Amino acid sequence: MFLIKQFFNKYSFLLFVFFIINGNIFSQSALDRVVQLDFTTGSTNKLLKHIEDKSGVIFSYTNKVCTYKKVVLSKSKASVKEYLDQIFVNCFVQYYELNNKIVILPIDIRDLDYNIKGFVKDSITGEVLIGANIYDINASIGSVTNDYGFYSFTTSGGEVFVGCSYIGYNSIRKAIKLTRDTIISFNLAPLPALKEIPIVGQNSYSGIRSSQTSIVDVPVNQLQNVPSFFGEMDLIKMIQLFPGVKTGTEGFSGLYVRGGGHDQNLILLDEVPVYNMEHLFGFFSVFNPDAINSVKLIKGGFPAKYGGRLSSVLDIIMLEGNKDKLNKMVSLGLLSSKLSIDGPLKNDKTTYSLSFRRTFYDLIVEPLQEKNSDNNRYYFFDLNAKVNHRFSNKSRLFISAYWGHDNLNSDYNFKSISKTIINQDYLGDDLRLSDKINAGWGNIIVSTRWNYVYNTKLFSNTTLSFTNFNFFTSQDRDYYVDDTWNTITQSYNSGIKDLMAKIDFDYFPKNSHHIKFGVNYIYHQFFPGIEIVQSDNISGEKNDTTIGGEMIDGAEIHGYIQDDFVLSSLLKVNAGVHFSSYRTGLNNYFSAEPRLSVRFLVTQRFALKSSLSFMSQYVHLLRTANISLPSDLWLPVTDKIKPMSARQVSFEGNYEFLPGFNLSAELYYKKSYNELDYFESQSFFDLSTSWSDKLTSGNTESYGLEMLVQRNIGSWSGWLGYTYSKSISVFPGLNDGNPFWANNDRRHDISMFLSHSFSQNIDANMTWSFSSGKPITLADEKYFAPELPTVPSIGSGFSENFSEKNRYRMPNYHRLDVGVNFKKNKYWGKRVWSIGVMNLYGRQNPFFLYFSDNFNENTGESNRTLNQFSLFPFPFPYIRYTIQF
């Protein structure tokens, strides 16, 4: 008996549930009972009474339940539940059964959670705003828009004040009665530059409150204010003004982040990798500022979403186009001219954006060059296009494309040929023929992305893309030999092609979690240099020879999952892991890369952050020279060459010390493994050694302090950045195995950008940058080197020797650039004159160093000096004219 009692005590709850369930199964629920009514219109109370009479069910409710004088039911025969749903359609009630009674209770909607989601856009251009803050003002709950301007968060029902803010835009507050999941889209109006933004009381979920570290939200709206050579606005040169980012060589658009190499940056244009970002041998970047919506540079603390490169992620999103009106812009500069157009297509569901830029130096010099004499032409162009179609509030399609090309060609060796040689029957003038050289490089990028909002908590983006970087040279020659007319074409091609498919998900299970996960497959085709020689002669004999350059293919697979979650009101964590693999002939390289970022909110305006990230990289760039050139080859890892990897930790303090003023200081430490460099006695042009045998691997340690004071709003805006850094490499095969300064080690770096709006029509801007000299390897002794017994006539009688790699430093670099924009509204739109002076005080910065032998004819003495070659050594003016209509 005792056991039976124990059993019943222990399992009484289960028995209770069992009987309840059985009761429901074996008898029809009162709510499901179908009733035939005599009338369908009346007050709430009258209809309830009538249903009671017809169904035999008893309703129990208090006067707190809302009632109406007139309710119309849609049909005369339905279940009790259906009638109740119709009667209380505008009331918040819940009902349940109890002993053939239906209890109706009012609900306090503040106890219920509802989801708010939508998009945030610029009210004028219609472009999505990435990283905008959306928040429930009273509850201090909010979210940040993703790369598609989408946000989602959950908050309590009832009267809710929703705020939306974005730097440089007017904030918006909306009061809503939240009674169900709701879509709210915000259209923010940009602030005039002169206007101070009301900051006080505004919550921010990006910046200080974000768990992300080492990120630069590049202020794209300031791009036109940064003085630039030839007035050619350049995104990369602007990014070089931020701490932690170094330029490789004076005037070039290289990107070297925290001691990393040029090939260690993942540059994404609408989520597609860009393998070459340089026009005109690196003097300008390929990104047309007129086609850019937003730019984000991540230097460390990489979210698990990103992978495949060691040092940085540069995430560039192109403009989508205005959905309300057609915008046109024409800009004439000293180097290039631009045309941009964007607007709606047929209806507001489809928009497009189109930007074209081209240099016209070749068009100008063409008529000036003498006919039938040697002449050279150069041009570059780029075309950005994007179409965006909204199928519904849940489904959007983006198609973006980029096509950029540099071309250098030359006609030379003109000769007169009697046409009878080619055509025996011809009687007439001689024919002027020339040999031709043609060289060029460029990217083609196409991507299709489909956004789909499955529900209030799940957002996806599916991407199919193609990217192709190609470098080529070709030479056409005509010869008349032994009564035979010959033409020879020799061409060379190198490059990389990628096909990519990926899917990314954003999942918002609750406010405290934002989960992202996805997979990415990249199929690479590497072309390490293919030469084709084609000959054709009058006799019809044709030869077509392909030499070397076997195509190499490979595939990278990436997967990730990350969660950005709130542990407490002070502590926020972003944790995740990125997986990747690459298969070579014998090895299957695999990498599991943990990522972690933590934010501790000390006060509402001061946050401490820390991050840890592991990265790996399966492709690398084989350099032609010590500057970046388009002939550099992208190549994969091999069985012999292992993937590069890096680990990085950082600690950051972020303080908003005055409204609109932000101060950040960050310490970082990074160690990279299996970095590649040439052996000290090896060369790109050595074809007797396979490329993998020319390279040696080693490690690089980098650490430093980066500080940034920034103001993005108001009549005075800009930033001041300072970096103290060290990068030391150790390669067993270089420098006798001793440590040496990494190629882009620079001790101090200061960059300043200042912009002042005097009025709506005039603003003045300046940049000043200072950088310690970069390391350089210089020969420091020479010695007798006679002719070799087997190789006569080599060298000049002596050889040079360097004692240590990167032992010396180039002179320090500094430069001041100033510019003014004069804007004026016209009846047809707006015009802007941009004028300025680069290198205002004429600093001669080093481009490269070389030794020179000098002979003094008067004294008969000779001496040797180390010389510096400088580009733009004096104040260099620029002018640009832009019209918008």
Partner 1 sequence: MQIIFKIVNFFVKIQIIVFFVCSFISCEKPVDIDLKDEGGTVSVLSFIQPDSAFKISCSKSVSILSSNNYQFVNNCKLIIYKNNRLYINLRFPDDTIMAMWNDLRFQTNDTLVLQIVENNITVATAITIIPDVIPFFNIDTTTVFRTDDLGNKTENIELAFDINNPDYGSEFFQLVIENVVTEINGEDTIFSSEIVDYSKSDLIFYKSGQGVSSLGEIDFKGLFSTNDILSNVYRIKISLPKKSLAVSENVNTTFLIVKLYHLSDDCFFYIRSRIIANYYDGVPIFDPIKIHSNVVGGLGVFCGSSCFTDTLNISN
Min separation Cβ 157 and partner 1, Å = 58
E-strand spans in 88-157?
93-98, 101-106, 113-122, 133-136, 141-144, 150-156
Min separation Cβ 475 and partner 1, Å = 7
- Tokens of residue 360, six digits: 């016209």
Min separation Cβ 885 and partner 1, Å = 12
- Tokens of residue 577, six digits: 């892991």
Pick from 414, 651, 684, 722: which binds partner 1 (CB under 8 A)?
Answer: 684
- DSSP 8-class letter at 429: P
Contact 592, 577 (CB under 8 A): yes
Q: Name the residue nearer to partner 1 (CB basis): 857 or 861.
A: 861
Q: Name the residue nearer to partner 1 (CB basis): 332 or 515.
A: 332
Point out which span in 17-25, 476-484, 605-613, 764-772 binds partner 1 (CB under 8 A): 476-484
Pick from 93, 407, 847, 875: which binds partner 1 (CB under 8 A)?
Answer: 847
Contact 626, 613 (CB under 8 A): no
- 835 burial (CB, 10 Å; 0-12 / 13-18 / 19+) is middle
Q: Name the residue nearer to partner 1 (CB basis): 392 or 865.
A: 865
Three-state SS for 730? strand
- Beta bridge partners of residue 523, listed in sequence order: 499, 555
Point out which span in 154-162, 313-321, 413-421, 797-805 binds partner 1 (CB under 8 A): 797-805
Task: State in Å, rounded, how far the first CA of the chain is from the last one.
Answer: 94
d(C-alpha 461, C-alpha 482), whole Å: 65
Point out which span in 73-81, 313-321, 680-688, 696-704 binds partner 1 (CB under 8 A): 680-688
Pick from 680, 711, 754, 756: which binds partner 1 (CB under 8 A)?
Answer: 680
Name residues contacting partner 1, limited to 305-324 (CB under 8 A): none
Point out which span in 57-65, 154-162, 547-555, 648-656 binds partner 1 (CB under 8 A): 547-555
Q: Is 548 in the site for partner 1 (CB under 8 A)?
A: yes
Three-state SS for 15? helix
Point out which span in 105-113, 138-146, 390-398, 795-803 binds partner 1 (CB under 8 A): 795-803
- DSSP 8-class letter at 690: -
Amino acid symbol at 702: S
Pick from 28, 90, 99, 688: which binds partner 1 (CB under 8 A)?
Answer: 688
Query: Within 10 A of 479 (CB to CB), how many other CB atoms are there?
Result: 14
Contact 102, 95 (CB under 8 A): yes
Q: Is 230 in the site for partner 1 (CB under 8 A)?
A: yes
Contact 285, 253 (CB under 8 A): yes
Rounded (10°) CA dihedral 579, 582, 583, 585: -140
Point out which span in 119-127, 301-309, 543-551, 604-612 binds partner 1 (CB under 8 A): 543-551
Name residues contacting partner 1, limited to 244-273 (CB under 8 A): none
Non-local (6+) Cβ contacts of 364 within 8 A are none
Q: Is 741 in the site for partner 1 (CB under 8 A)?
A: no
Name residues contacting partner 1, limited to 405-424 (CB under 8 A): none
Min separation Cβ 297 and partner 1, Å = 27
Name residues contacting partner 1, limited to 505-534 (CB under 8 A): 528-531, 533
Three-state SS for 538? coil
Helices 44-55 and 80-87: angle between axes, nearest 10 degrees = 180
Q: Name the residue nearer to partner 1 (CB basis): 550 or 553.
A: 550
Q: Name the residue nearer to partner 1 (CB basis): 290 or 632.
A: 632
d(C-alpha 162, C-alpha 183), whole Å: 12
Contact 864, 854 (CB under 8 A): yes
Name residues contacting partner 1, limited to 183-222 (CB under 8 A): none
d(C-alpha 346, C-alpha 328), whole Å: 17
Name residues contacting partner 1, limited to 858-877 (CB under 8 A): 861-874, 876
Q: Is 476 in the site for partner 1 (CB under 8 A)?
A: no
What are φ and ψ of residue 858, in 5° steps?
A: -70, -45
Pick from 801, 824, 825, 829: which binds partner 1 (CB under 8 A)?
Answer: 801
d(C-alpha 653, C-alpha 705), whole Å: 11
Q: Is 543 in the site for partner 1 (CB under 8 A)?
A: yes
Min separation Cβ 559 and partner 1, Å = 32
- Beta bridge partners of residue 822, listed in sequence order: 762, 833
Site mask for partner 1 (CB under 8 A), range 753-792, x = bound: ------------------------xxxxxxxxxx-xxxxx
Contact 47, 104 (CB under 8 A): no
Point out which span in 1-9, 420-428, 475-483, 714-722 binds partner 1 (CB under 8 A): 475-483
Site size toward partner 1, by CB under 8 A: 109
Q: Name the residue nearer to partner 1 (CB basis): 139 or 551.
A: 551
Name residues contacting partner 1, limited to 349-388 (CB under 8 A): 360-361, 364-365, 368
- Beta bridge partners of residue 884, listed in sequence order: 329, 830
Point out which span in 199-207, 326-334, 379-387, 389-397 binds partner 1 (CB under 8 A): 326-334
Name residues contacting partner 1, limited to 806-845 (CB under 8 A): 807-809, 811, 844
Phi-psi region at 663: left, alpha or beta (left = phi > 0; alpha = psi -120 to 50): beta
Point out which span in 197-205, 270-278, 387-395, 675-683 binds partner 1 (CB under 8 A): 675-683
Q: Is 484 in the site for partner 1 (CB under 8 A)?
A: yes
Q: Is 2 in the site for partner 1 (CB under 8 A)?
A: no
Min separation Cβ 847 and partner 1, Å = 7
- Tokens of residue 222, six digits: 């300031």
Q: Name the residue nearer to partner 1 (CB basis): 343 or 873.
A: 873
Non-local (6+) Cβ contacts of 780 within 8 A are 801, 802, 803, 807
Name residues contacting partner 1, limited to 58-87 (CB under 8 A): none
Q: Name the residue nearer to partner 1 (CB basis): 29 or 473.
A: 473
d(C-alpha 670, C-alpha 726), whole Å: 10
- 348-369: burial string, b at 16+ Cβ within 10 Å, e else: eebbbbbbbbbbeebeeeeeee
d(C-alpha 305, C-alpha 215), whole Å: 14
Name residues contacting partner 1, limited to 610-639 (CB under 8 A): 624-627, 631
Q: Name the residue nearer to partner 1 (CB basis): 570 or 687.
A: 687
Residue in 380, 355, 410 with CA at minimum distance from that of residue 282: 380
Non-local (6+) Cβ contacts of 842 within 8 A are 873, 874, 875
Q: Name the residue nearer to partner 1 (CB basis): 157 or 775.
A: 775
Q: Name the residue nearer to partner 1 (CB basis): 139 or 779.
A: 779
Point out which span in 93-101, 292-300, 484-492, 643-651 binds partner 1 (CB under 8 A): 484-492
Q: Is 334 in the site for partner 1 (CB under 8 A)?
A: yes
Q: Name the residue nearer to partner 1 (CB basis): 108 or 686.
A: 686
Q: Is 705 in the site for partner 1 (CB under 8 A)?
A: no
